[in-house]
A and B are shown apart, each in its own frame.
Chain A
Amino acid sequence: MATRTIAGKTVQVNDEGFMTNPSEWTKEIGVEIATEEGIATLTDAHWKVIDYCRSTAPSLNGKSPTLRQITTGTNISTKELFALFPKGPAKKVAHIAGLGKPEGCV
């Protein structure tokens, strides 16, 4: 398993750069990955979504929730999520929150 150093901490990551051990995550790591993803400042709304994903991940085998689960759980609309995390909100939040990306079923 590959490792990389983010915000001064060495963490395990997969081929796509997603962290594989959610417990290694810190808020500082979240801020640094967000910057890499092109989000310069994490606002309260960003944190609301990140915190929600972190809180539900244990019940989803460490994976981040789907877009629909996020909109239902946070009352933030899909349109707003695309404004907060442009291009792919579900994947982007998963990356920033140190979680596995949401997986689809066959």
Chain B
Amino acid sequence: MKKLLVLGAGTAGTMVVNRLCRMLDCDEWQITIVDPHETHYYQPGFLFIPFGMYSKNDVVKPKRDFIPAGVQMIKAAADVIEPDQNRVKLTDGRILPWYKSIYDFYTIEGALALAKRLRDWEGGRLVVNVVENPIKCPVAPLEFIMLADWFFHEQGIRDRVELIYATPLSGAFTKPIAAKHLGDILEQKNVKVVPDFMVEHVDPDARKLVHYDETELEYDLLVTVPLNMGDDLIARSSLGDELNYVPVDKHTFLSNQHPNIFVLGDAASVPTSKAGSVAHFAVDCFAENFVRYTDGLEMHPSFDGHANCFIESGFGKGLLIDFNYDVEPLPGRYPLPGVGPFTLLQESEMNHWGKMMFRWMYWNILLKGQELPLPARMSMSGKWK
């Protein structure tokens, strides 16, 4: 029996076992997924909790509900990966052998605490600070601050709230065209962007952020976005780079050093964000290639870094971005027969409803490894250059 071991039952790991469970021969393969946690969180929903749009119940379901029959699920934490021995040691001492391995790894506590704090906050200076890049999702802090603008309008205290976005980037976003569009929207919403802000430490007593160059930024309420690193397991196993990401081929996810390890999701060094929207098309391409690989065929360099994601911008509107490794998010239209088109890099109510629908699609289609009628590779159709 060949053994496929998947470490981490997060978005990528769950989609992978569902997909491969259907594509691989069950008489030939035993698939095992390992994760220390029982709850699957719909992480994009955390953004809505502080503003009362979602409750905790909207974003949690048992991980087990999404693991298909026929896949062995082990609730345990991995201690170290030993690729040369084709095995993983668990923290409880068990040793799991494998043939090929894949993994991904990310708090609802912060979102719930903030919801409570915002309920009776009387205004002041709210600073959203990105500590260091890469972060989990480059648009999430922007969505937060735009929703905060809407939320404080609704609360009738917007005139008493100063919104500041302090980022280590030189502008509102990583890529120039989207940075310009998003920067303009933030300006319209009276959000001040403080670029090139590299925070060295926070002084909670004096309520200020201190930059490495010793300049300071005062706050009344601080929302901070941490660096996104791979799990310590990767460091303990000497498999990763300075961010605990495992170097892999960006088109196939095969480890550069170990022919028996594939990495998708949070722990892969692919040059794109670690958001679930990237994992979605990544899994489409990976599953097909994995079957080719195990059959001894050459893999296609099929994953082009394609991802699309809705950006909630408050007042019942949103934006959509669609991009890949080579093409940055561009303005235009995203065609979708029957439903679309959605507006790219421009606010529309349709995009807001797209984002709201996404939660249903996540739980009912994506996690179960079903395919959406969207091409995995990016298309230039509708994009304005």
Let me know if A78 is at the binding interface, CB within 8 A.
Answer: yes
- Name the B residues within 8 Å of A104 (CB-CB): 133-134, 138, 169, 174-175
Q: For the complex, is A47 an interface residue (Cβ under 8 Å from B)?
A: no
A65 to chain B, nearest CB (A): 9
Q: Counting CB contacts under 8 A, is B103 at the interface? A: no
- In the assembled complex, the CB of B278 is this many whole angstroms from the nearest CB of chain A, namely 9
CB distance from B334 to the nearest CB of A (A): 15
Of B174, B198, B200, B243, most buried by chain A (CB within 10 Å of CB) is B198
Interface string of B28-55 (1 = CB under 8 A from A): 0000000000000000000000000000
For chain B residues 162-177, which have a beta carbon within 8 Å of chain A?
169-170, 174-175
Q: Select which of A72, A81, A86, A106 is within 8 A of B328 by beta carbon.
A: A106
**Other-chain contact of B196, A69, A78, A88 (Cβ < 8 Å):** A88
CB of B279, distance to nearest CB on chain A (Å): 14
Total contacting residues, chain B, CB less than 8 A: 24
Find the B residue at minimum CB distance from A65: B242
Interface set, chain A 59-106, CB cutoff 8 A to B: 66-69, 72, 78-79, 81-82, 86-88, 91, 103-106
Residue from the list B138, B196, B242 in contact with A106, Cβ < 8 A: B138
C-alpha gap A42/B115 in the complex (Å): 50
Asked if residues A106 and B321 are in contact (CB atoms below 8 Å), the reply is yes
Give the contacts of B109-133 with A (CB-CB under 8 A): 132-133
B262 at the interface (CB under 8 A from A): no
B25 at the interface (CB under 8 A from A): no
B273 lies within 8 A of chain A by Cβ: yes
Are A106 and B273 touching (Cβ within 8 A)?
Answer: yes
User: B242 contacts A78, CB within 8 Å?
Assistant: no
Interchain CB contact under 8 A, B138 and A105 = yes
Q: Give chain A nearest CB distance to B265 CB in angstroms.
A: 14
Alpha-carbon separation in the docked complex, A103 to B170 (Å)? 11
Q: How far is the CA of A91 from the CA of B170 in the complex (A)?
A: 10
What distance in Å separates the Cβ of B243 from its nearest Cβ neighbour in chain A? 7
Contacts of B243 in A (CB 8 A): 68
Contact, CB under 8 Å: B175 / A79: no
Give the residue among A67, A72, A86, A104 with the most B Cβ atoms within 10 A.
Answer: A104
Q: Is the CB of B242 within 8 A of A69?
A: yes
CB neighbors of A among B142-172 (8 A) = 169-170
Closest A residue to B196 by beta carbon equals A88
Knowing A82-B198, A87-B196, the reply to whether A105 touches B134 (Cβ < 8 A) is yes
Is the CB–CB distance between A105 and B242 below 8 Å? no
Beta-carbon contact of A78 and B200 below 8 Å:
yes
Choose from B178, B196, B271, B321 the contact partner of A105 (Cβ within 8 Å).
B271
Q: Which residues of A contact B323 (CB under 8 A)?
A: 106
Complex Cα distance, B307 from A81, in Å, reads 35
**B10 in contact (CB, < 8 A):** no
Asked if B8 is at the interface of the complex by the 8 Å CB criterion, the answer is no
Chain B residues whose C-beta falls within 8 Å of the C-beta of A82 in the assembled complex: 198, 212-213
Cα distance, A72 to B242, chains bound together (Å) = 7
Nearest residue (CB) in B for A60 is B271
Q: From B321, which residue of chain A is reached at the shortest CB distance?
A: A106
Whether A86 contacts B213 by the Cβ 8 Å rule is yes
Pairs A-B, 8 closest by C-beta atoms: A104-B174, A82-B212, A72-B242, A105-B272, A105-B271, A106-B323, A82-B213, A104-B133
* Pairs A–B under 8 Å by Cβ, sample size 16: A68-B242, A68-B243, A69-B242, A72-B242, A78-B198, A82-B213, A87-B196, A88-B196, A91-B170, A104-B133, A104-B175, A105-B134, A105-B272, A106-B175, A106-B307, A106-B328
